[in-house]
Chain A
Amino acid sequence: MSGILDTTLALVFTWVGYKTSMIIYKYTPYSYPNARIKAMEAKLLIEQRFNELAESRTLQNFVVSLEDTPYRDYLADLQSYDVESIERALEKALAGTYELMAKILPKRVNPFFRLLLEEWDVRNITSVVKAKLADEPAMDYVVEIGPMLQKVKAMAEAKSMEEILVILEGTPYEEPYQKLLLGEIDVRAFETELYKMHYGKLLDYALSKKDEERTILEEFVRLRIDKLNILTALRGKAARLSAEEIRPMLIPGGSVKLDPLLHVEDLSMALAELDSTKYGPVIRDVREEVEKDLGVLERVLEEHIIERMNELNRFYPLSVATPLGYVLQKEREVRKLRAIAKLISDGLPPERIKELAGDVA
């Protein structure tokens, strides 16, 4: 009898111990950050607040109206109430959100948020290079986010294109920039190359994870790639580019095959092709608007990613879906605030500001 008892006890304890440790390993590290992020979600600005901000009339009022929000700390250092300073403060607030995520999330996923920050480097570098090539003041295009921000600023102040190469030395962006300088690729191909590198890194990271973390991160990255590819393909079609011209601009790793879409004649037919993919239900209601303005498509695709992350968040409340959904919502909020600030400085009436801010992706 003792033998049977001992064996039963050993089996029960091993099984219970294994299951318990799995629960603790999976959920405990997300307990603090996800609860904190949920509390932060409660502070996201609602439509009513955006409408109030749209009625600010002056940038000073706009800043004062944001005093009871998490932007207060970033706006407190403003030297003057001009739109550039406000935009910079809002960008810093967004950068702060990414940094907070990287700080509070478990070590096994926080590098992903550092990788996400690198997308701002890609945006900044391509903006600066494009501005330099167009002989425009590059500093105006720099967004105050990204691990390479200092280098980007140095690039913007560089006196020659060769000087930029020196600044980019030792970074992953050196090689494509060298090709650009040598004339082997044009600026469009350079931009695509940088995005391909970035999304390749994100996808590799997502695929290196296990279980639900992999499911969520992989879906997030593929959705982002799909969004970029769909917009590129449709913009290409709107510009009457051929499939051969558009294909090199697409980023590998998306979840939908866009090849049939590339072979149609115009935007309208391309949208009809898109209707048969999983994005059909997403664009169906706004198809007519999309035909007139592709910015609408950008907005609905962004909303679709947020909604999908929220769905995953409901299914896995203690997972990386919560911070991903939050970061996307914060990005949208900052974009709207920047748009409102810009429209106020342009002197537009509040009703028009509300209308235009509502269209921000």
Chain B
Amino acid sequence: MDPIVYVSLGAALAAGLAGAASAFGVGVAGAAAAGVVAEDEKNFKNALILEGLPMTQSIYGLITLFLILMVSGILGGGFKFTANTPDNIVKSAILLGAGLTVGLTGLSAIPQGVIASAGIGAVAKNPKTFTQGIIFAAMAETMAIFGLVGALIMIVTGVGF
């Protein structure tokens, strides 16, 4: 494959996978939010906060997309790895790896949505569990953060600005 394919795939997978996962996560939590609000409108605020948690993975995906596009020169200049040399292939493969790392760890948005959904139900039953619900859902976020940090290291050390 040409370097441009690796780079484009890396950027697309980072934003695409994480974005799709966030959509599913928010969807699952959103359905739960609608359920508790249907019973009592007072649940809206708590449900909204928990529902929003799985959205962050899509932000990490977007950040990675911009970084990949910037370091490869697609954004703000000419593409740096046009020539099909081993060095360019390695660098573009690293960018694909970075994108894939963020994309795959971004899938944590789906289980996070499931946790948030259960949390929304728990908070509707007992509002005192709101903080705990946030903490439980935020645990799934850790994987996405690890992925983002890993991708940043790969981009900075493997390719550089």
**Chain A residues in contact with chain B, CB under 8 A?**
1-2, 5, 9, 12, 16, 20, 23-24, 27-28, 31-43, 104, 317-318, 322
Contacts and interface: CB of A to CB of B under 8 A. Distances in A.
Nearest to A19: B107
Given A28-B28, A31-B114, A36-B38, 8 more contacts: A33-B35, A34-B117, A37-B121, A38-B122, A39-B39, A39-B43, A39-B125, A43-B40
7 contacts: A23-B114, A28-B24, A32-B34, A36-B35, A39-B38, A104-B35, A317-B122
Interface in B88-147: 89, 93, 100, 104, 107, 110-111, 114, 117-118, 120-122, 124-126
B39 A5 contact: no
Contacts of B31: 28, 31-32, 35
Given A23-B114, A39-B121, A31 B32 contact: yes
Q: Which of A31, A32, A35, A104 gathers the greatest number of chain B CB atoms within 10 Å?
A: A35
Contacts of A37: 35, 121
Contacts, number: 91
A35 B32 CA distance: 5
B123 to A, nearest CB: 8
B121 A317 contact: yes
Interface of B: 1, 21, 24, 27-29, 31-36, 38-40, 43, 89, 93, 100, 104, 107, 110-111, 114, 117-118, 120-122, 124-126
Closest 4 CB pairs of A and B: A36-B35, A38-B121, A35-B32, A39-B39
A16 B126 CA distance: 35
A28 B100 CA distance: 25
Contacts of B28: 24, 27-28, 31
